[in-house]
Structure 1
Amino acid sequence: MGLGRPARAFVGMLVAAVLPLSVAAVAQSQSAAAERFDCQGLAEQGPPESALGWLERSLWANHCYEFRARAVRIGVDGVRSVALSHDVMEGVEREVAKFLDGSPVVFERRGRIGRLSWAEGDAPVPASPAGIAEHLDGLYRLQLSGEARLANRTTIRLDIESLDGLRYGHRFWLDTATGLPLKQVLLDERGRVVETFQITELHQPQLYQGEIGLDRRRPRPHDPWRPAWLPTGFIPLPVETHSARQGDDITHRVYSDGLATLSLFVEPVEGADQLIPGLHRLGASHAAVRHRELGGQLRQVMAMGELPPGVLLRVADTVEWQDGRKSSDGAGSEGEVP
């Protein structure tokens, strides 16, 4: 199936944290004015005492450790081996994932630690929610499930269970020395394994000796549309989504609950480069496509992500057009997907 322009824009690193969340225990100023994170604060911490603490430690480890690794990904499209690298140069991260078999594919990302929200005037825009426990509370249940040995390293298993059936569950095996995830299992709403990603070799991870900058403040875009419904806890991410490969008529926004991510594309239906309405499988992700009359024109709406198909279909079906009004990224009523 040819996925066209929107699908080609939906790429990302395999082991990057989807939403950089703050670590309350890190020896780092949490003031709104802080614009950089000192990775050396991780070296001063003892082992986390809770499941949430391990999750927070892992998210920061993804930013602060430089490493080379080999991994395997097991999904609906089979087994593929991957070479991974993560470096930091003058406070800017560079991640590369290169598939070593099958079609030659390389993903590369450069950037800084993302912020939680769009900039609103002079108001502070921190790197994360003021309280991560409050954000995840009611969405997931976190618990530790003992130790195991992977890639010749000791790991602790972290189980993350969805509480509402509107998002997938996760299992992480975290390196006890660094917090880096050495194995990740994605579970659908019925508890079935969707995808497994496991590092088989981790070569001498080193903590970056310096600070990593926060992404620049980004003003909220004023789109003429908005999702009228999103699952509880999903918030808009202030990320740059426009690509030179896309025309100005394609708008793309990203939403996350801290673990799951949803991409939403809206564009006019014209030409041959369109998708068939319905549900499409993209590895561990799905894409829900609708052709709808919005703003006096037939438009293609596509919701993509590692989420239950019913959730993506409902999001695509409830996108609203707001002629002449500023878009508020807020969602309407929340509840079970029919």
Structure 2
Amino acid sequence: MRLGLTARGFGKCLAIGLLVLSTGTAAQSPSADEAKDERFDCMALAELETPETPRAWLERSLWANHCYTFQARAVRIGSDGVRSLALSHDVVEGVEREVARFLDGPPVVFERRGRIGRLSWSEDDSTPPASPAGVAEHLEGLYRLQLSGEERLANRNALRLDIEPLDGLRYGHRFWLDTATGLPLKQILLDEQGRVVETFQITQLHQPRLYQGSIDLDRHRPPPDDPWHPTWLPEGFMPKPVKTRSPRQGDDIGHRVYSDGLATLSLFVEPVTGTDQLIPGLHRLGVSHAAVRHRELGGQLRQVVVMGELPPGVLIRVADSVEWQDVASGDDTSP
């Protein structure tokens, strides 16, 4: 189904959702009053031996994404055509800054400043690990990891890492990792039938350098006290400890992010008011989909939107599973 173009409410959701999805498991921009709990010394990567297992290569790549500064040119091939991009990543006083700028088509720029994210919320004095440390272990129970030989990309030697889902509830990935740094030079996203959904490839990688210092880890964040929650998520999906409030969103829009470490979905809940709403159903958004439902939740008709690069049936099932619980009484008020 084609997206309804008159839905301004979805425009707000889409803008925030794309920003969160583009940052994956990354952390939030730090504010001045947030204490810096821990740091990761990037120079530790220079002392590590060459990885020998798929899991070790994956973890090395995740840390490399944080610790190498570089500029690059890349192409993205999806259902909406071919787009070229300029990419940059640097670290200033322990805080990362990433910029992705599309060079053709509509002028779009994504920018992120932040710390290395945690794997989950902090509950009951727990200390969740930084994302790279926990993600590699977490993914082994959800995907099959396999090394599949070497190739040459962007004038650099690359090792191919295949990540195949163990169920039909998420997409597969193929990564080509730079053998010198661990940085991903190419990524292919495969749907549940094994068809290529999107290809992203760096064509020029300019002088990647290991940051000579430490990067801040995000502070411990307690889980939010939302009255609504999904009662079903694919195995391995966890709520991400990220701030989702933004000036682009109204106070009446609830937004949470869930991920298994690779796949990510955004869930929005807002009141249905007026006529400026999305048509319930499934909408295509480039390589992503959005499932839209109008549900009676908390004594009011609300719009539920679930979007992400996942099989459409998964997004629909998550949207249909959302329930509302009165925080004060603990009573479930969903039908």
Aligned: 1:268 with 2:271: yes
What SS class does the counterpart of residue 250 from structure 2 fall into? coil
Equivalent residue letter for 1:204 = Q
Equivalent residue letter for 2:215 = I
The C-alpha deviation readout for 1:181-227, integer Å capped at 9, x for no partner, is 00000000000000000000000000000000011222211000110
Equivalent residue letter for 1:166 = L
Range with greater deviation from structure 2 (33-42 or 261-270): 33-42
Give the match for residue 5 of structure 1: 12
Distance in 1 of aligned mates of 2:184 and 2:252: 38
What is the Cα deviation at residue 299 of structure 1?
A: 0.3
Aligned: 1:109 with 2:112: yes
Equivalent residue letter for 1:198 = Q
1:80 is aligned, of 62, 83, 108, to 83
Describe the shift of the 1:285–1:267 C-alpha distance in structure 2 as closer, same or farther (beyond 3 A). Answer: same
Give the match for residue 222 of structure 1: 225
Given that 1:223 and 1:326 are in contact with CA atoms closer than 8 Å, whether structure 2 keeps it comes out as no
Aligned: 1:175 with 2:178: yes
Distance in 2 of aligned mates of 1:97 and 1:173: 20
Aligned: 1:63 with 2:63: no
Equivalent residue letter for 1:126 = P
Given that 2:145 and 2:163 are in contact with CA atoms closer than 8 Å, whether structure 1 keeps it comes out as yes
Runs of 4+ off more than 4 Å: 13-17, 129-134
Describe the shift of the 1:219–1:138 C-alpha distance in structure 2 as closer, same or farther (beyond 3 A). Answer: closer
Give the match for residue 322 of structure 2: 319
What is the Cα deviation at residue 16 of structure 1?
A: 5.1
The number of residues matched between the two structures is: 315
What SS class does the counterpart of residue 18 from structure 2 fall into? coil
Give the match for residue 283 of structure 2: 280
Tell me which of the two structures has the higher relative contact order, counting C-alpha pairs closer than 8 angstroms and 6 or more residues apart: 2
Distance in 2 of aligned mates of 1:15 and 1:198: 15
Describe the shift of the 1:285–1:273 C-alpha distance in structure 2 as closer, same or farther (beyond 3 A). Answer: same
Distance in 1 of aligned mates of 2:39 and 2:323: 37
Equivalent residue letter for 2:111 = E
Give the match for residue 30 of structure 2: none
Unaligned runs of 5+ in 2: 28-35, 331-335
Describe the shift of the 1:14–1:219 C-alpha distance in structure 2 as closer, same or farther (beyond 3 A). Answer: closer
Give the match for residue 248 of structure 1: 251
Describe the shift of the 1:16–1:205 C-alpha distance in structure 2 as closer, same or farther (beyond 3 A). Answer: farther
What SS class does the counterpart of residue 229 from structure 2 fall into? strand
Unaligned runs of 5+ in 1: 21-32, 328-338
Given that 2:142 and 2:166 are in contact with CA atoms closer than 8 Å, whether structure 1 keeps it comes out as yes
What is the Cα deviation at residue 12 of structure 1?
A: 3.3
Distance in 1 of aligned mates of 2:249 and 2:182: 37
What SS class does the counterpart of residue 318 from structure 2 fall into? helix
Describe the shift of the 1:128–1:104 C-alpha distance in structure 2 as closer, same or farther (beyond 3 A). Answer: closer
Describe the shift of the 1:105–1:129 C-alpha distance in structure 2 as closer, same or farther (beyond 3 A). Answer: closer
Q: Give the structure-1-normalised TM-score.
A: 0.89
Percent of pairs identical after alignment?
76
Distance in 1 of aligned mates of 2:24 and 2:251: 29
Describe the shift of the 1:277–1:319 C-alpha distance in structure 2 as closer, same or farther (beyond 3 A). Answer: same
What is the Cα deviation at residue 116 of structure 1?
A: 1.7
The C-alpha deviation readout for 1:8-35, integer Å capped at 9, x for no partner, is 1112388755368xxxxxxxxxxxx971
Given that 1:17 and 1:62 are in contact with CA atoms closer than 8 Å, whether structure 2 keeps it comes out as no
Give the match for residue 305 of structure 1: 308
Describe the shift of the 1:14–1:116 C-alpha distance in structure 2 as closer, same or farther (beyond 3 A). Answer: closer
2:148 is aligned, of 111, 134, 145, to 145
RMSD: 2.0
Describe the shift of the 1:159–1:19 C-alpha distance in structure 2 as closer, same or farther (beyond 3 A). Answer: farther
Given that 2:21 and 2:265 are in contact with CA atoms closer than 8 Å, whether structure 1 keeps it comes out as no
Describe the shift of the 1:265–1:136 C-alpha distance in structure 2 as closer, same or farther (beyond 3 A). Answer: same
Equivalent residue letter for 1:92 = V
Given that 2:24 and 2:264 are in contact with CA atoms closer than 8 Å, whether structure 1 keeps it comes out as no
1:196 is aligned, of 179, 186, 199, to 199
Equivalent residue letter for 2:195 = R
Range with greater deviation from structure 2 (180-189 or 208-217): 208-217
Q: Which has the higher helix share?
A: 2
The C-alpha deviation readout for 1:87-113, integer Å capped at 9, x for no partner, is 100000000000000001111011000
Distance in 2 of aligned mates of 1:15 and 1:252: 16
Given that 1:73 and 1:196 are in contact with CA atoms closer than 8 Å, whether structure 2 keeps it comes out as yes
Give the match for residue 213 of structure 1: 216
Given that 1:222 and 1:326 are in contact with CA atoms closer than 8 Å, whether structure 2 keeps it comes out as no
